[in-house]
Structure 1
């Protein structure tokens, strides 16, 4: 579907042909859905590939696991509470989550030996959770004794282990990888922020999302658990498995749509990665962000709150290339700052692809992505379902071709 709104229709259509030839016909991706909008109006919305093996083509009702695209939703939820005066961006985390009181920085131990810690230079603050400078990590980083302890404790398991309170209690017993505010590391920080939202609001996180964000925005297809009457719309999800002893690998099934883990309620409500959504629902969320916190007469947050969130909050206004300790993130590092829940394009030249300073974005582990460009009034939502998300450069290619299609 192509509707002109600030773009060259032929160049937008060329994106679909490119994705089909490079990614779908070669089997790298199972399907692809792309929505491009200008000033909130859809300019391009395409659907390619089967939603399930041997099934029908994806359509506008298809449901996707958006993984870390959950993070901006959780960040908006937190800022709603900030606007109500119930918490602040610089509030020490342990004021809301006392389990984090006295948490220290890793100084030795692990792997069967008790951890040795040293005091933090500064307390962990909410801003550190929002911008991933908290000293927390992810178990899949596979580079330290701290992330090994996350794996051993199955801290990030969504089913049959810890709820949000238990998750926070377990993290509070482990050391940080660095003193808060001194480095950047992609981490469970936004999951912790979800626990903050739950504690401060006095509402379960899923209820807060539904009542305060999804229902007001008309996002009727976004949830942690896919309802039974919508289960047939959930797409298959894949992962990449390297071939043993040779180059390359294969796309293999990770989670089938018909028997998905997302069809049953999770024990841990993951504000960092647990949501399922549609492209059209996330388009509504992205348009709200583009509009400065409002959509169709409903205000979610104030205009100046969005302005605050979409500035580079990294210490010294540095970029991820200079501050990151992470082995993985959903962003390119050079020229990329980080705001309160989003990566920020801080230097277009360093990014080496077309864009605008102040553009903000994020993605998910199953290769989904979105961006919002306030300067050009452009938004994009891209959905597929293959992990890891850094396997192919499709996000950079899409952005390049979308900007090339601007009139």
Structure 2
């Protein structure tokens, strides 16, 4: 079967499977896209707003939340390639707030019981989420003294809200005043590494994270609708982000309105979860990585950097103790989740999901890049039935090459 026929078959199957879910109202709307070795198909279902007055479209702009992380990682690796950064360099050289950190003797212990860090935090620690600070998925709902203190100081990890975030320098100063949860390199902890990485990129280049992303990633790839806010000229393509329906009442709340957190340039350009984008932009980003770091003659990364980014960096013990997925099937590379044991029934060699309803994966064995963007936030840090259905359909309709 040709790539064109495969893409057509997958597109038809996706529409058939996803349309009834959207008609049920959760999520209110979505846009999906696939790229099978250059054959691209995009579809849109549902509505942008609670009034059902605007339909989603191929060019609808969504809050991509944690799918921001791989984009930030690519920019960082481009800076590694040109010598601006080095993976083994201590971040304290550029981020003195994180030089010589203290570490809790017990992650759930009192803040006064600390010990010196066994080694400096490195650039690679930020990318691999092993700096010793961040969200512990397995401890959600059971805050330790460190969690409580960080929340009171305004540096807790939570759903993205770029206008409410502390400015970068202030945020890092407050963060650096707390002890690490674990020794650098000891455990995988979510999110904070990408936030710190964005600040590091800005300081290393003497400009803003947004400017670096535009120069190194977004501009070269023609990702015109990706950024940290939605310009007024594009506001008609941007809608609300909703909470899932209340299980008892069915009421749908609004997480963020169209004129909310992303309607103007943010106080903090979050390398963790701050970007908005479109399916088309993210398919181009995914195809660049799938094809070894280049689109046509436009090269963003060297193949070796792509390989390093998409290779698992976690040990079996780290994954078992605290990994990116509850079933232990996913490791972590440099800013991206990595599938540990690919099988024909699982789509994706690497990729990541976002808590505001986004998902992206590349599957090198299928020649596939796939993106699903919705306007409904997740109620927990794992994929929804909608996201699972998306990947299940692709597993059945896009064969291994």
Q: TM-score, normalised by structure 2?
A: 0.89
1:240 is displaced (CA, Å) by 3.0
Are the counterparts in 2 of residues 49 and 58 from structure 1 also a CA contact under 8 Å? yes
DSSP-derived class of the 2:236 partner: helix
* Aligned mate of 1:368, from 331, 353, 358: 358
2:93 aligns to what?
95
Determine the C-alpha separation between the residues in 2 that align with 1:286 and 1:320.
Answer: 27
Task: Confirm or deny that 1:167 pairs with 2:174.
Answer: no
1:68 is displaced (CA, Å) by 0.6
2:230 aligns to what?
226
1:181 aligns to what?
185
Q: CA RMSD in A?
A: 2.5
Name structure 1 gaps, 5 residues minimum.
Answer: none
Task: Confirm or deny that 1:401 pairs with 2:389.
Answer: no
2:256 aligns to what?
255
2:77 aligns to what?
79
Question: Where in structure 2 are the equivalents of 1:41-60 lying within 5 Å?
Answer: 41-42=39-40, 44-53=41-50, 54-60=52-58
DSSP-derived class of the 1:337 partner: strand
1:363 is displaced (CA, Å) by 1.2
| Number of positions where the alignment pairs a residue of Structure 1 with one of Structure 2 | 388
Task: Confirm or deny that 1:25 pairs with 2:23.
Answer: yes
Name structure 2 gaps, 5 residues minimum.
Answer: none
1:392 aligns to what?
384
2:206 aligns to what?
202
Determine the C-alpha separation between the residues in 1 that align with 2:37 and 2:174.
Answer: 44
Q: TM-score, normalised by structure 1?
A: 0.88
* Aligned mate of 1:377, from 343, 367, 380: 367
Cα distance per residue 1:171-192 (max 9 Å; x no partner) = 1101111111111121311010
Are the counterparts in 1 of residues 127 and 334 from structure 2 also a CA contact under 8 Å? yes
Cα distance per residue 1:19-61 (max 9 Å; x no partner) = 222x21222211121111111320x311100112322211122
1:170 is displaced (CA, Å) by 1.2
* Deviating more after overlay: 393-402 vs 276-285: 393-402
Task: Confirm or deny that 1:324 pairs with 2:318.
Answer: no
Task: Confirm or deny that 1:277 pairs with 2:299.
Answer: no
Are the counterparts in 1 of residues 319 and 331 from structure 2 also a CA contact under 8 Å? no
Are the counterparts in 2 of residues 103 and 175 from structure 1 also a CA contact under 8 Å? yes
Determine the C-alpha separation between the residues in 2 that align with 1:284 and 1:163.
Answer: 31
1:75 is displaced (CA, Å) by 0.5
1:267 aligns to what?
267
DSSP-derived class of the 2:105 partner: strand
DSSP-derived class of the 2:166 partner: coil
1:96 is displaced (CA, Å) by 2.0
Structure 1 370/165 Cα, relative in aligned 2: closer, same or farther at 3 Å? same
1:380 is displaced (CA, Å) by 0.1
2:295 aligns to what?
295
Are the counterparts in 1 of residues 347 and 394 from structure 2 also a CA contact under 8 Å? no
Determine the C-alpha separation between the residues in 1 that align with 2:266 and 2:398.
Answer: 42
DSSP-derived class of the 2:124 partner: helix
DSSP-derived class of the 1:148 partner: helix
1:270 is displaced (CA, Å) by 0.4
